[in-house]
Amino acid sequence: MAPRVLISDKLSPAAVQIFKDRGLDVDFQPDLGKDKDKLAEIIGNYDGLAIRSATKVTEKIIARADRLKVIGRAGIGVDNVDIPAATAKGIIVMNTPFGNAITTAEHAIAMMFACARQIPAADLSTQAGKWEKSKFMGVEITAKTLGLIGCGNIGTIVADRAMGLRMKVVAYDPFLSKERARDLGVEKVELDELLRRADFITLHTPLTEKTRNILSEEAIASTKKGVYIINCARGGLVDEAALRAALDSGQVAGAAFDVFVEEPAKENVLFGAPNLVCTPHLGAATQEAQENVALQVAEQISDYLMHGGVTNALNMPSISAEEAPKLTPYVKLAEQLGSFAGQLTESAIKGVRIEYEGSVAELNTKALTAAALTGVLTPLLQSVNMVSAPTLARERDINVEEVRRPQQGAYGTYIRLTISTERQQRSVAGTIFADQSPRIIQVKGIDMEASLGAHMLYITNEDKPGFIGKFGTLLGEAGINIATFALGRNEPGGDAIALLEVDGEVPEGTLEKLKALPLVKHVRPLRF
């Protein structure tokens, strides 16, 4: 049966046709986004959901979405989607960040000009028959400093246009590297320095808990007197009441807003403020942009549902449709290796080194590294996904290193993950067998072969006679069945490792008895 896609907002006929041409079953209900109860009632019948901004994909909707595999937003902002809830349910959330980037950037530049030269007020006055030439004294933007809060896709375009207008551009963005800033020709600064230096401030960042009210009352008070503030990104990035007070006092010389905390903005504390320019969320409102994002979301959802390709996902690295079938088993292996090492790590992680050898080194290792970091960090942080894992690692000053090289050993493909802590290093390696199943082939430098099940026991012990018998007897007396038993040692009589799959959770009391056995050094339950 063909995958079913629900389109719950207005999308162009060409986009609907893309779904049909790709062999998907399409249900086009462009006004359904306004009826959340109806949406909740029928969402369980679909594999894909294509939306704009009207549809609110809440936790309640997602809870009913038993078949849903992908949500595609025709546009950039996804604050109308509960991404954590979607991620927890294994639903990929995509947006189309490039389709309306130019349009939104152009609108920000236009709003900056309109604000700097008071064009809307001057137009209204002139068309009313007044000729108030001296009233509308503007400022030039040439040689002024533009402060970008957020330097992603749209911010980068704004920076390029601003430099073409002979402005100096400074940018605050925690994810902007110094090398990337240098390539763009912008100066990377901290937020307090941007506020102090900028003549114009424009925002181009998503709305998150960290960015909400990033221009707070305190931040606005620390700006250069006479600053101009432009927001064509998201309502809620600026404290609207604080901005109104700053406009009234002259601390802020002008503001141009396309977005508001509450939309539609029928009433707002900003309305009526001096030198305020407002538009009704027109950032992406050009014919070109609307068509582009509609076509893009249709292509992306179709690629994923028909071929497994992931493009512009917010909770998973991108994977092309061609490489998806090859990559899937390696993603599972990388996450299992990370989870194995992460569950055995008890002190602060300083570094993660991932070595790709053989044919796997030629694949999309970015996705594999994200999967490995997800495995490493999940036991420590719980709520981690393939998109958030690299960011969480950076925030915790965990150095992540990738090494890729041709085949050197017996295995045609080989992944080894090493965790460095304050006290030690721990490594685990694995491969993919011919049946596409992942296998552990080395732990702490000791060769062994094991598959990972839901419930595992990891044991380190002295390699002396009698250990296996005592261990097995104790588990048998506790009523715990052993599904698989893998062994390895560094040398006869030396250090040994046992990795067991068991048919259920091992009670704490049994674990304590296992730890007390002679020759046993360490016992740790693992879950996969």
246-297 residue pLDDT tens: 999 999 999 999 999 999 999 999 999 999 999 999 998 888 888 889 999 9
Cα–Cα distance, 20 to 7 (Å, whole number): 12
Nearest CA among 502, 415, 414 for reference residue 459: 502
CATH of domain 101-278: 3.40.50.720
Type of residue numbered 172: Y
Maximum CA extent, the chain: 103
Burial class (CB in 10 A: 0-12, 13-18, 19+), 329: middle
Tokens (6 digits) for 257:
């807003």
336-352 residue pLDDT tens: 999 999 998 877 899 99
Q: Which of 73, 107, 234, 244 is catalytic?
A: 234
**What does the pLDDT average to over 381-405?**
81
Please give the C-alpha separations between residue 447 and each of 204, 425, 462, 464, in angstroms, as whole numbers.
51, 17, 16, 18
Q: In which band, very low, low, confident or very high, does the pLDDT at 387 lie, cut at 50, 70 and 90?
A: low
- Domain 451-528 top-level CATH class: alpha beta
Residues 6+ apart with CB under 8 A from 236: 207, 212, 213, 261
Residues 158 and 202: beta-carbon distance below 8 Å: yes
Angle, alpha carbons 317-321-322 (nearest 5°): 115
Provide the residue ranges of all domains of the chain, joining segments of one domain with +.
4-97+288-307, 101-278, 316-444, 451-528
* Cβ density class 167-193: b for 16+ within 10 Å, e for less: bbbbbbbeebeeeebeebebbbbebee
Cα–Cα distance, 313 to 366 (Å, whole number): 14
- The residue to which tokens 């056995």 are assigned: 517
Q: In which band, very low, low, confident or very high, does the pLDDT at 319 lie, cut at 50, 70 and 90?
A: confident
User: Fold identical between 4-97+288-307 and 451-528?
Assistant: no
**Annotation says 281 is catalytic:** yes
Cα–Cα distance, 28 to 10 (Å, whole number): 9
Superfamily of domain 316-444: D-3-phosphoglycerate dehydrogenase; domain 3 (3.30.1330.90)
**Annotation says 423 is catalytic:** no
Q: Which of 22, 52, 244, 281 is catalytic?
A: 281
Q: Which of 132, 190, 262, 263 is catalytic?
A: 263
Q: Point out the least confidently predicted range of 259-263, 437-441, 489-493.
A: 489-493
Angle, alpha carbons 142-144-147 (nearest 5°): 130
Nearest CA among 240, 172, 175 for reference residue 201: 172
**Annotation says 263 is catalytic:** yes
Q: Please say if the pLDDT value at position 121 is more than 90.
A: yes
Q: What is the DSSP secondary-structure string of 95-154?
A: --TTTTHHHHHHHHHHHHHHHHTTHHHHHHHHHTT---TTT------TTPEEEEE--SHH
Q: In which band, very low, low, confident or very high, does the pLDDT at 461 lie, cut at 50, 70 and 90?
A: confident
C-alpha torsion angle, residues 431, 435, 438, 444 (rounded to 10)? -40
**What does the pLDDT average to over 111-134?**
95
446-458 residue pLDDT tens: 888 888 888 889 9
296-305 residue pLDDT tens: 999 999 999 9
Q: What is the pTM of this model?
A: 0.59
Nearest CA among 370, 382, 290, 376 for reference residue 339: 376
Residues 6+ apart with CB under 8 A from 15: 7, 50, 74, 294, 295, 297, 298
Q: What's the confidence (pLDDT) of residue 163?
A: 97
Which residues in 395-528 belong to E strands, given as ranges?
399-405, 413-421, 425-432, 438-443, 446-450, 455-462, 482-489, 495-502, 520-527
Mean pLDDT of the chain: 91
Q: What's the confidence (pLDDT) of residue 382?
A: 65
Superfamily of domain 4-97+288-307: NAD(P)-binding Rossmann-like Domain (3.40.50.720)
